[in-house]
């Protein structure tokens, strides 16, 4: 089955699932309330958005320069930088490194890029145990599922689901008190932190002028993961670069506000290089893997280059009415929601993933909430145009639009076709064909009542009224 | 490996440079004119703001008149904890603290090694305090990486002179004083560890400390 | 949510009931038997009548369409002589509130050109007729260039820009003489104003399309921002909730304008529904391509409309209302939809002429 057919099937199942709709709605209502309060902490939220947009634009406009500066400074600190052109190269680097250092256990904090390159399954195949340390990721890992949302991976589960899961895996009491559940997870992972040989993190930002990587968590799991094990590996896309550490003064609060509604996330860590000579604790090795994997292709499209500005806050997912109804799993891609729909065709092929750009009403809620002002819904439109011009579309559709064009480029043809269509519909409905397989508007009436079909069009009535003198 | 490494790097940079030859189209008209509007409300009283933010983000802030009083408060806090190792940053100021003997025998200094898995508390200094968000910036110099995260209780001994108004000023200071260059690790800590991954319900105390205590001395003596 | 296909759809058939188009049309009977025969007979009578009417005006069969009421012709002006409309000065319906009385009333009959979207023309003509009525009431002379067909949105939104482009060029040609163009749909206005410049970027029509875009207005936007009227003298004693259509809200930035117009309607009780800004799920071809998601979104919207306790849902976009109406009917809901022009046109005065008089079957 193609990705498009898969998506339609999943979307159909999820759209009809009222329980799922309720759970997601509850989660998003919490989020909306928190963000409304969060934005009030800014004197001027729109100005904050524009400032963040400026920072990312500057970073992308001189991407090569900032990446080189970043690499130089990381090297000065004793770290290593590896430039991976594809996901395969990045995986291979990490696998070889783990092999060479005799790594048996890895603690990992949340990284979308690691999902993108399917790192965990590759490590598992090599016999290495990988612990997801972000609570949401930990939960979905236990369930053998993909993350549901880029910020809250377990949004689709109730506390009862999680309690049952923990009871099954750890033999815990089965209480669904969130405090107890969190304590169970903490205990389960604690030992892993202290015994793992390698910690893998993603990066929220790469700071060029300090050669440091910014990693943000509320739980503190990334800090443990980059402090205790002997080796720290950062896997990141090249677009995460920002020019200066002072840019974080606006990016950190904006990321937190858009991501969860908090004024700032609990732990905003800047890490650069292995432990310095005079430091008592820290890893001996520091590796940063800069991943391309299609990002330079996106950079080469001047109209859509700004999609690389994304700071992965998840606001567009929460705003999207399609996401609210079908959830994250239905997309079946690493990146879900509006940003996923815009980005995935560029990373993984327009032909296979054009359906994501079409599964939208272009309502624009995503663009409204994006903290870096990416014109998301217009990019969906551009993806659609690109799909028609460069990718495969079903020939009946192409023919249909040629016929449509023939009809509407002439007033009399338009009137004629409209008249015929209305007659056919009126007769069909007079014969009681609505909602039957012979209904001409079956695609509409499958789910909703047909509109009453008028006998005369507007222009006929207008002509009659103006001609009746 | 080195061969492919450098050529991968060259290829990526070459692709970037080619891509950037075409400029992106100018964006939509901006709301604001050249005069950038203030994004955050100005902070008149840094200490009051710090107190307010700490109350909001679940930081236990204890303001003391001087370092002597701070030491007494520290003793009290440690006394309330279950017996166990107390991991303390190896700093002159902390070594000088007059702590009771019970406390002293449980102390493990940061220069002796990493914190134990079952440490009950960690005591460190800080680099900067930020009033805007009620945050504390620690570095690797403050007891090493992980000192602030490992134990379930983290206590920071700070003075009011370390308080800076905005995040922007704090980051600028880190850069100017070379703190960012000297240290391989910096962390802006805002409150105690938490998670909302379960039904978006906020729970305190995930992997990091459940309690975050800041003992702030108003004067150095 | 999924109701049986056999459930008969209840379309209000009383004469002052409002369907989403405000149309008092008797729907054809939906069952076999006597009712079907009667409906078909009525249809046949109608067709015969239409043919006879055309024969009466035999010119219309001989001359090509454009010669009859083409661009720049004087025919529309004859309307004024026919219908009981005072020319000058117009009845000042908005004078109840002095602050909103408009200086345009003392000008000599400014002209406004109607851009009637293709589906309004074919599926809900009453919306266009109501809009014309309201515009006339406040003293505008209303023009309708019959050469217009469609703005190109179906092809444009699906990505078929090559097919949409000739249509956009044609649109610019049809409306190039117009002073102000008013459209009863936020989405169609958006395509013309916000997207034609991009669609026509590499063509000689680019600059003209940008200028035209600045003269094209959505109906409520025109009333509030150009005509500067908020009290249209309308009377609609019902509880109404307003659905923020996506394009009108986010592309044209209209949030308060339609509400301002509705608030001045006599007898109206305007209530807000939860999540009024959330998309209804229509989205053009999305409604059929991803019909299950569209239905789920429509279901959520219909549920919210019911929660508001309103009797009617109104909006600037007839396409949204078609979607919401379809879902409400399947839910057997008591809530109905009506376009904002339908509310504003409704004055409930007995002496009011109706534009579709004589066309009722």
CA distance B113 to A281: 7
pLDDT band at residue C33, thresholds of 50, 70 and 90?
A: low
pLDDT band at residue C61, thresholds of 50, 70 and 90?
A: very low
Q: What is the pLDDT, as a whole number, of residue B2?
A: 52
Q: What is the pLDDT, as a whole number, of residue C11?
A: 38
Q: What is the pLDDT, as a whole number, of residue C153?
A: 95
Strands A267-271, A212-217: pairing is: antiparallel
Q: What is the mean pLDDT of residues B181-204?
A: 92
C34-59: pLDDT as tens digits: 567 777 777 787 777 777 766 665 54
Residues of C in Cβ contact (< 8 Å) with A412: 64-65
Q: What is the pLDDT, as a whole number, of residue B25?
A: 84
C267-316: pLDDT as tens digits: 999 999 999 999 999 999 999 999 999 999 999 999 999 999 999 999 99
Interchain pair A452, C163: CB under 8 A: no
Does any CB of chain A come closer than 8 Å to the CB of residue C246? yes
Interchain pair C295, A448: CB under 8 A: yes
The DSSP code sequence of A383-443 is: HHHHHHHHS---HHHHHHHHHHHHHHTSHHHHHHHHHHHHHHHHHHHHTT-TTSTT-TTHH
For all residues of chain C together, what is the average pLDDT? 78
A97-113: pLDDT as tens digits: 999 999 999 999 999 99
Bridge partner residues of A241 (DSSP): A206
* Residue A406 predicted with pLDDT over 90: yes
Q: Does a structural domain hold residue A356?
A: no
Q: What is the pLDDT, as a whole number, of residue C18?
A: 39
For all residues of chain B together, what is the average pLDDT? 89
In this complex, which chains have at least 3 CB pairs below 8 Å with chain C?
A
Q: What is the pLDDT, as a whole number, of residue C69?
A: 43
Angle (CA) B17-B22-B28 rounded to 5° is: 125
In this complex, which chains have at least 3 CB pairs below 8 Å with chain A?
B, C
Contacts of C212 (CB under 8 A, 6+ apart): C172, C175, C176, C181, C192, C196
Does any CB of chain B come closer than 8 Å to the CB of residue A468? no
CA distance C170 to C147: 9
Q: Does a structural domain hold residue A348?
A: no
In contact, C312 and C239? CB cutoff 8 Å: yes
Query: Number of A:B CB contacts under 8 A?
Result: 289
Domain assignments of chain C as residue spans, ordered by start: 104-226, 239-345
In contact, C357 and C336? CB cutoff 8 Å: no
A318-328: pLDDT as tens digits: 999 999 999 99
pLDDT band at residue A151, thresholds of 50, 70 and 90?
A: confident
Q: What is the pLDDT, as a whole number, of residue A248?
A: 97
Q: What part of C 310-329 touches A (C-beta under 8 Å)?
A: 322-323, 325-327, 329
Mark which of A268, A293, A318 sits at the end of a domain. Answer: A293
In contact, C88 and C108? CB cutoff 8 Å: yes
Q: What is the mean pLDDT of residues B160-164?
A: 96
* Residue C92 predicted with pLDDT over 80: no
Min distance A154 CA to chain B CA atoms (Å): 6
Domain containing residue A147: CATH number: 3.40.50.10420
As for how many domains chain A has, the answer is: 2
Least confident of A67-71, A463-467, C191-195: A463-467
Q: Could you give the 3-state DSSP secondary structure of residue B62?
A: strand
Strands C269-271, C312-315: pairing is: unpaired
Q: Does a structural domain hold residue A48?
A: yes
Q: Does a structural domain hold residue A330?
A: no
Q: What is the pLDDT, as a whole number, of residue B6?
A: 72
Which residue carries 């338009």 as its tokens?
A414
Interchain pair C28, A430: CB under 8 A: yes
Q: What is the pLDDT, as a whole number, of residue C91?
A: 36
Domain that holds residue A446: 403-467
Q: What is the pLDDT, as a whole number, of residue A280?
A: 86
C190-203: pLDDT as tens digits: 999 999 999 999 99
Neighbours of A158 (CB within 10 A): 15
In contact, C115 and C175? CB cutoff 8 Å: yes
The chain C residue lying nearest A414, using CA atoms, is C149
Mark which of A293, A312, A336 sits at the end of a domain. Answer: A293
Residues of A in Cβ contact (< 8 Å) with B27: 53, 306, 373
* Closest Cβ–Cβ partner in A51, A227, A373 for B149: A227
Q: What is the pLDDT, as a whole number, of residue A88?
A: 96
The chain B residue lying nearest A59, using CA atoms, is B20
A180-209: pLDDT as tens digits: 999 988 988 998 999 999 999 999 999 999
Contacts of A10 (CB under 8 A, 6+ apart): A326, A329, A330, A332
CA distance A80 to A226: 15
Q: What is the pLDDT, as a whole number, of residue A435?
A: 85
Q: What part of A 379-398 touches C (C-beta under 8 Å)?
A: 381, 383-389, 397-398
* Closest Cβ–Cβ partner in C30, C166, C167 for A434: C30
Q: Does a structural domain hold residue A156?
A: yes
- CA separation (Å) from A206 to A215, A248, A270? 9, 10, 9
In contact, A72 and A211? CB cutoff 8 Å: yes
The CATH class of C239-345 is: alpha beta
Topology of domain C104-226 in CATH is Glutathione S-transferase Yfyf (Class Pi); Chain A, domain 2 (1.20.1050)
Which residue carries 């397989």 as its tokens?
A437
Q: What is the pLDDT, as a whole number, of residue B142?
A: 92
Q: What part of B 125-184 touches A (C-beta under 8 Å)?
A: 133, 135, 140-141, 143-150, 166-168, 170-172, 174-175, 180-184
Residues of C in Cβ contact (< 8 Å) with A8: 290
Q: What is the mean pLDDT of residues C318-330?
A: 95
Q: What is the mean pLDDT of residues A55-84?
A: 96
pLDDT band at residue A331, thresholds of 50, 70 and 90?
A: very high
Interchain pair A246, B175: CB under 8 A: yes
Q: What is the pLDDT, as a whole number, of residue C347?
A: 87
| Pick from A80, A292, A56: nearest CA to B15 | A292
* Closest Cβ–Cβ partner in B57, B150, B185 for A271: B185
C136-171: pLDDT as tens digits: 999 999 999 999 999 999 999 999 999 999 999 999
Q: What is the mean pLDDT of residues A219-242?
A: 96
Q: What is the pLDDT, as a whole number, of residue B32?
A: 54
A123-141: pLDDT as tens digits: 999 999 999 999 999 999 9
- CA separation (Å) from C56 to A8, A335, C65? 53, 64, 16
Mark which of A278, A293, A308 sits at the end of a domain. Answer: A293
pLDDT band at residue A60, thresholds of 50, 70 and 90?
A: very high
* Residue C6 predicted with pLDDT over 60: no
Domain annotation for chain B: domains and CATH numbers:
45-217 (3.40.50.10420)
CA distance A195 to A208: 32
Least confident of A277-281, C88-92, C226-230, C340-344: C88-92
CA distance A345 to A347: 6
* Residue C342 predicted with pLDDT over 90: yes
Q: A412 and A282, same structural domain?
A: no
Burial class of residue A278, CB neighbours in 10 A (0-12, 13-18, 19+) = exposed
Q: Does a structural domain hold residue A83?
A: yes
* Residue A56 predicted with pLDDT over 80: yes
Query: Number of A:C CB contacts under 8 A?
Result: 266
CA distance C341 to C358: 21
Does any CB of chain B come closer than 8 Å to the CB of residue A58? no
Residues of A in Cβ contact (< 8 Å) with C11: 452
Q: Does a structural domain hold residue A358?
A: no
pTM, two decimal places:
0.87
For all residues of chain A together, what is the average pLDDT? 93
């Amino acid at each position: 089955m193609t990705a498009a057919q898969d998506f339609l099937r999943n979307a159909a199942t999820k759209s009809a699932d009222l329980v799922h709709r309720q759970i997601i709605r509850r989660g998003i209502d919490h989020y909306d309330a928190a963000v409304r309060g969060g934005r009030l902490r800014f004197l001027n939220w729109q100005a904050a958005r524009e400032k963040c947009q400026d920072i990312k634009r500057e970073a992308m406009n001189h991407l090569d320069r900032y990446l080189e500066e970043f690499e130089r400074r990381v090297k000065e600190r004793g770290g290593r930088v590896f430039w991976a052109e594809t996901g395969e190269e990045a995986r291979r680097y990490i696998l070889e490194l783990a092999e060479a250092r005799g790594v048996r256990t890895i603690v990992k904090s949340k990284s979308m890029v690691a999902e993108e390159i399917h790192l965990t399954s590759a490590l598992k195949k090599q016999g290495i145990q990988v612990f997801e340390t972000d609570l949401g990721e930990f939960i979905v890992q236990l369930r053998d599922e993909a993350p549901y949302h880029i910020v809250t991976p377990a949004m689709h589960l109730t506390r009862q689901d999680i309690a049952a899961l923990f009871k099954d895996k750890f033999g815990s009491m089965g209480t669904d008190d969130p405090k107890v559940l969190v304590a169970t997870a903490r205990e389960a992972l604690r030992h892993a932190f202290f015994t793992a040989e390698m910690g893998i993190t993603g990066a929220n930002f790469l700071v060029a002028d300090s050669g440091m990587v910014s990693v943000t968590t509320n739980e503190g799991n990334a800090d443990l993961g980059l402090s205790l094990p002997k080796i720290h590996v950062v896997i990141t896309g090249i677009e995460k670069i920002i020019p200066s550490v002072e840019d974080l003064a606006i990016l950190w609060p904006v990321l937190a506000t858009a991501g969860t509604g908090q004024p700032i996330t609990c732990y905003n860590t800047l890490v650069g290089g292995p432990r310095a000579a005079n430091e008592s604790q820290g890893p001996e090795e520091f590796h940063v893997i800069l991943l391309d994997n299609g990002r330079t292709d996106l950079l080469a499209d001047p109209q859509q280059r700004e999609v690389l500005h994304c700071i992965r806050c998840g606001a567009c997912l929460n705003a999207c009415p399609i996401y609210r109804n079908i959830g994250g799993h239905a997309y079946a891609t690493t990146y879900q929601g509006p940003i996923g729909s815009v980005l995935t065709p560029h990373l993984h092929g327009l032909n296979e993933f054009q359906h994501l750009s079409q599964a939208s009403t272009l309502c624009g809620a995503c663009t409204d909430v994006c903290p870096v002002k990416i014109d998301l819904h217009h990019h969906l439109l551009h993806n659609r145009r690109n799909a028609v011009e460069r990718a495969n579309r079903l020939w009946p559709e192409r023919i249909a639009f040629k016929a449509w064009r023939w009809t509407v480029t002439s007033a009399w043809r338009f009137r004629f076709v409209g008249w015929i269509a209305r007659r056919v519909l009126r007769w069909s409905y007079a014969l009681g064909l609505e909602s039957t397989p012979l209904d001409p508007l079956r695609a509409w009436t499958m789910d909703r009542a047909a509109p009453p079909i008028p006998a005369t069009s507007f222009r006929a009535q207008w002509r009659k009224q103006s001609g009746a003198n | 490996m080195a061969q492919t490494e450098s050529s991968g790097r060259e290829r990526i940079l070459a692709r970037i440079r080619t891509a950037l030859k075409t400029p992106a189209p100018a964006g939509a008209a901006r709301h604001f004119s050249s005069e950038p509007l203030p994004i955050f409300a100005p902070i008149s009283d840094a200490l009051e703001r710090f107190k307010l933010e700490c109350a909001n983000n679940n930081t236990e802030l204890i303001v003391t008149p001087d370092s002597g009083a701070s030491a007494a408060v520290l003793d009290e806090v440690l006394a309330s904890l279950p017996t166990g190792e107390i991991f303390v940053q190896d700093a002159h100021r902390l070594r000088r603290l007059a702590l009771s003997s019970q406390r002293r025998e449980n102390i493990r200094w940061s220069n002796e090694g990493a914190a134990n898995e079952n440490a009950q508390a960690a005591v460190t200094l800080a680099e900067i305090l930020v009033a805007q968000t009620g945050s504390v910036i620690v570095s690797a110099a403050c007891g090493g990486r992980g000192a602030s995260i490992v134990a379930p209780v983290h206590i920071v001994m700070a003075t009011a002179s370390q308080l800076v108004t905005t995040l922007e000023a704090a980051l600028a200071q880190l850069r100017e004083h070379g703190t960012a260059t000297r240290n391989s690790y910096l962390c802006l800590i805002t409150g105690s560890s938490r998670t909302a991954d379960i039904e978006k319900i906020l729970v305190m105390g995930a992997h990091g400390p459940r309690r975050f205590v800041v003992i702030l001395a108003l004067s150095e003596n | 949510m999924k109701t049986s296909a056999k459930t008969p759809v209840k379309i209000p058939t009383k004469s002052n009931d409002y369907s989403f188009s405000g149309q008092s049309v008797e729907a054809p009977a939906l069952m076999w038997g006597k009712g079907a025969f009667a409906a078909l007979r009525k249809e046949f009578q109608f067709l015969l009548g239409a043919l006879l009417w055309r024969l009466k005006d035999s010119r219309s069969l001989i001359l090509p369409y454009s010669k009859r009421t083409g661009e720049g012709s004087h025919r529309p002006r004859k309307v004024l002589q026919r219908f009981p409309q005072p020319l000058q000065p117009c009845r000042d319906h908005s004078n109840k509130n002095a602050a909103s009385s408009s200086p345009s009333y003392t000008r000599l009959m400014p002209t406004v050109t109607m851009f009637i979207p293709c589906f309004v023309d074919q599926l809900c003509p009453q919306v266009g007729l109501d809009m014309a009525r309201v515009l006339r009431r406040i003293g505008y002379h209303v023009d309708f260039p019959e050469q217009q067909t469609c703005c190109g949105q179906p092809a444009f939104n699906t990505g078929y820009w090559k097919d949409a482009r000739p249509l956009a060029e044609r649109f610019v040609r049809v409306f190039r003489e117009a002073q102000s163009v008013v459209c009863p749909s936020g989405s169609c206005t958006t395509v013309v104003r916000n997207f034609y410049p991009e669609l026509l970027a590499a063509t000689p029509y680019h600059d003209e399309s940008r200028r035209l875009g600045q003269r094209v207005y959505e109906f409520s936007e025109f009333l509030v921002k150009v005509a500067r009227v908020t009290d249209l003298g309308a009377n609609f004693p019902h509880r109404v909730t307003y659905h923020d259509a996506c394009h009108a809200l986010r592309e044209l930035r209209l949030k308060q304008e339609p509400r301002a117009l509705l608030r001045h309607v006599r007898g109206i009780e305007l209530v807000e529904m939860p999540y009024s800004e959330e998309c209804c799920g229509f989205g053009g071809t999305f409604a059929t391509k991803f019909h299950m998601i569209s239905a789920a979104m429509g279901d959520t919207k219909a549920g919210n409309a019911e929660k508001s306790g309103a009797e009617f849902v109104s909006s600037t976009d007839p396409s949204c209302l078609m979607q919401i109406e379809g879902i409400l009917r399947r839910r057997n809901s008591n809530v109905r939809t009506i376009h904002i022009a339908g509310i504003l046109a409704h004055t409930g005065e007995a002496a009011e002429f109706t534009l579709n008089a004589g066309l009722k079957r």
